[in-house]
Every structure is written in C-alpha cells, then in structure tokens.
C-alpha cells in the first residue's frame, strides 16, 4: 500500500458462472445447436420449406454471404425436429422470455417448446402460421441490419446480447449449468486420449471397435453418450442428469426431478442412467427410492476433484461402457 491507497477488486464469480452457462447454452440454443440439428436432417426438406415460407430476396441476401436461410429463418421442419431451437430464434430477435411469451404476441402457448423441448398438444397444426409470423419479424431484422452487414458473426453477437441479461437474472440456472459443464469437463479428461474432435458442447471419440462415440449436452437429460452404429443409427449408452443445487433441504425434490428425466431416457433406450448431485451428505438409500431409474449416484465434488471411490467407479464405467481402449 502506497500513500494510504488500497484496492479490493472482487473475484468475478458472475463471469465465471456465465462461462459455464454459455458453454451449455451453445449446445442447446445458439448457432452450434442449430447446426447440429440441421446436420442430422434432410437438407432438401429444409430448402423446400425455406422456399415456401421465406421471400426469395431475403434468401438471396444470405446466400450472397454464403449463409443458409435457417440461420435466420425458422421453418416447421427444424422446430419439429428440435423444439428448443425456438429459443435461438427468440434470442436472435432480441426478445426476453417475458416479452416474447405473452398473449399479446400469441406465442405464450409455444413456451413449452423452449422450456420442455416438446411441442404442446394442439400446437402442431398452427406451427406453420407461427413460423410465418416469426419470419416476418426476422425479415424486418435483416432489413434493419442491412444486407451488406449480415454475417454469421453479427447474428451470433445479437443472440448473445439477448442471452446476457437472461443469464444475469437466473442465478439458479447459472449454478445448474455450471455443474453440468463441470461433469462434461470431467468426462472430457477421462476420454481425452481417444478424442478425435471436440468443442464446447460435444466430444467425439473413437472406441476400441473403431466406432464413433458422441458425448453431448442434451436438453433432457443433461449429458448423453451414444455410439454410432451402421446406417447413421445410434446405440444410446449413458444418460446423465446433473442436479447442481447446493441446498441440502431440497435435494430429494431435485432427485425426483432427475427421475422424470431418466424415465424419458429409458423410453429412448438408454441402458445406463446416472444422477450427479452437488450435495456431499445425503441419504443414498432414500435417493434410490426416489429415483429407481437411476443406476448410479455420484457426488459432483468427487468428479471435480478426480479422486475417491465414486470418481474411480465413474471413470471405469465411462471407459468400459463407451468401449474405450485402455492404454
């Protein structure tokens, strides 16, 4: 300290939480999620719907910059395949959830698409009309930006500008997504010698049988591990639900929520369902009763520290079930 002056700059915990939340959001609601969805679809179907719903002038403006139409314009095929991507288009248009899902916009009944990743009953027939309304707004966005200024980067920036306040207002969301990313990172460390490619939301490895194994963020449950079989089909191996809350008194409610996710995972054919909790002291026997679909329970602290019996079991099962060659 000089001349009686001192400084006390706090630790940027909010930004640290944002970094974890953003990593997951990119795999669920941002451009990366859109690209992953389109990659698994029939492009001809998307192009057919773009030609039907979007003015040719707008598509030509995007094509001039080497951009596909769905980067800006939602069509029924994409939202049917991945309902949560409604969140991407909402963020692109700059609307908060509170502004967007109202009776005034008519979008309130579609909120379940973003929150629950499914199309509400009775809404499928009106989805094309909903897309038309959204496209009208995105055409205005393009005109306002100007055809010469359109780029993939500015579109991504616009979604992030809307996402920032949403993350700032959601402490529980940040805490939950931070926990999910920590589990994702723990898995990445375990499989890193077999990784062929990775980004912030997806890891691809090659197992001992020479098959591709994908480790990805997912809407529900939080992390999934799948092995690619023949003809672009997948064997669903592990579904992981992460409950990042630290409140001991609410842990059993969160385990009940995990049970609902794992029941869906079972229907999809996942053979292993795991639950990771962010509470070190809890009644394991009670947890098993509250989530009978959970095969294994793990403590987040053990996975982060990469030590202890639980971590050893977690690591060995990841390696074994994914078929990774031991080195």
- Whether residue 193 is predicted with pLDDT greater than 70 in this model: the reply is yes
Residue 7 inside a domain? The answer is no
Residue 171's pLDDT is 54
Rounded to the nearest integer, the mean pLDDT of the chain is 88
In angstroms, rounded to a whole number, what is the distance separating the alpha carbons of residues 297 and 293? 11
Residue 4 inside a domain? The answer is no
- Whether residue 279 is predicted with pLDDT greater than 70 in this model: the reply is yes
Burial class (CB in 10 A: 0-12, 13-18, 19+), 5: exposed
Query: Lowest-confidence range among 9-23, 85-99, 187-201?
Result: 9-23
Q: Which domain holds residue 34?
A: 13-168
Residue 327 inside a domain? The answer is no
What token pair was written down for 255?
Answer: 């385990």
Q: If DSSP codes are grouped into helix, strand and coil, which group holds residue 167? A: helix
Asked if residues 201 and 216 have their Cβ atoms less than 8 Å apart, the reply is: yes
Residue where one domain finishes, among candidates 119, 146, 168: 168
Residue 92's pLDDT is 95
Confidence of residue 224 (pLDDT cuts 50, 70, 90): very high
Per the omega criterion (within 30 degrees of 0), is the bond before 288 cis? no
Q: Do 141 and 279 reside in the same domain of the chain?
A: no
CA distances in angstroms from 38 to 34, 41, 74, 201, 296, listed in the order given? 6, 5, 12, 16, 33
Structure pTM?
0.59
Q: Do 21 and 163 reside in the same domain of the chain?
A: yes
In angstroms, rounded to a whole number, what is the distance separating the alpha carbons of residues 87 and 31? 11
Rounded to 5°, the CA angle 82-85-239 comes to 55
Provide the domain count of the chain: 2
């Amino acid at each position: 300290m000089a001349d009686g002056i001192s400084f006390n700059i706090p630790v940027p915990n909010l930004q640290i939480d944002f970094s974890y939340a953003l990593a997951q959001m990119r795999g669920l609601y941002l451009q990366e999620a859109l690209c992953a969805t389109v990659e698994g679809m029939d492009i001809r179907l998307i192009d057919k719907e773009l030609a039907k719903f979007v003015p040719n002038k707008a598509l030509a403006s995007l094509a001039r910059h080497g951009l596909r139409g769905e980067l800006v314009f939602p069509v029924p095929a994409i939202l049917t395949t991945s309902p949560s991507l409604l969140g991407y288009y909402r963020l692109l248009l700059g609307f908060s959830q509170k502004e967007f899902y109202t009776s005034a916009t008519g979008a309130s009944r579609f909120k379940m698409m973003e929150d629950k990743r499914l199309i509400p009953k009775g809404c499928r027939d009106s989805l094309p009309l909903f897309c038309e309304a959204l496209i009208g707004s995105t055409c205005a966005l393009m005109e306002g930006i100007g055809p010469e200024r359109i780029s993939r980067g500015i579109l991504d920036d616009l979604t992030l500008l809307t996402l920032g306040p949403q993350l700032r207002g959601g402490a529980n969301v940040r805490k939950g997504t931070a926990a999910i990313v920590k589990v994702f990172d723990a898995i990445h460390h375990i499989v890193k010698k077999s990784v062929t490619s990775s980004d912030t939301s997806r890891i691809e490895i090659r197992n001992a049988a020479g098959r591709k194994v994908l480790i990805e963020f997912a809407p529900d449950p939080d992390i999934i591990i799948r092995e690619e079989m023949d003809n672009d089909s997948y064997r669903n191996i592990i579904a992981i639900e992460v409950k990042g809350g630290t409140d001991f008194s609410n842990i059993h409610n969160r385990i009940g929520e995990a049970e609902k996710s794992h029941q869906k995972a079972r229907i999809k054919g996942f053979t292993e369902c795991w639950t990771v909790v962010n509470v070190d002291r809890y009644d394991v026997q009670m947890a098993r009763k509250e989530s009978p679909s959970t095969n294994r329970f793990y403590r987040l602290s053990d996975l982060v520290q990469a030590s202890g019996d639980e971590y050893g079991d977690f690591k060995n099962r990841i390696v074994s079930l994914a078929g990774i060659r031991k080195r």
